[in-house]
Amino acid sequence: MPTPSMEDYIEQIYILIEEKGYARVSDIAENLSVHPSSVTKMVQKLDKDEYLVYEKYRGLILTPKGKKIGKRLVYRHELLEQLLRLIGVKEENIYEDVEGIEHHLSWDAIDRVGDLVQFFEEDDSRIEALREIQRNNEDIAEGP
């Protein structure tokens, strides 16, 4: 299994290829806020571990293994964003919160998060009941 750092690169490469049709070292560096030399080192490692094929000055492509993992990583990220939005986390906090937790959850936990999101989305009254609990807890926290 890839390390959390490797996952970040694979996810970003997958997103870039989906959006633009290609992923360049400079684009990856910009999106991850790292130096291009760091990207080159990681890309070489990902090539060695068969997540992608990298040819210097020619670009890179994900292998079937890399695509599969990239797709799962994007799904994980989007699902966690969806959950945090659903439970009422402020929009400005969602991205950073997801970045902070996504590597610390097992795939079993991710599957259960998917079940929870589905549970709430299947019946709007469930979301409204959650909002009512949140309103009550805010009133308690604010006090008299």
**Which residues make up each annotated binding site?**
8, 11, 77, 99, 102-103
Is residue 71 classed as helix, strand or coil in its secondary structure? Answer: helix
Is residue 50 classed as helix, strand or coil in its secondary structure? Answer: coil
**Which residues are part of a known binding site for Mn(2+)?**
8, 11, 77, 99, 102-103
Closest C-alpha among 80, 113, 105, 108 to residue 94: 80
- Rounded to the nearest angstrom, the gap between the alpha carbon of residue 55 and the centroid of all alpha carbons in its chain is 27
Closest C-alpha among 4, 9, 15, 32 to residue 103: 4
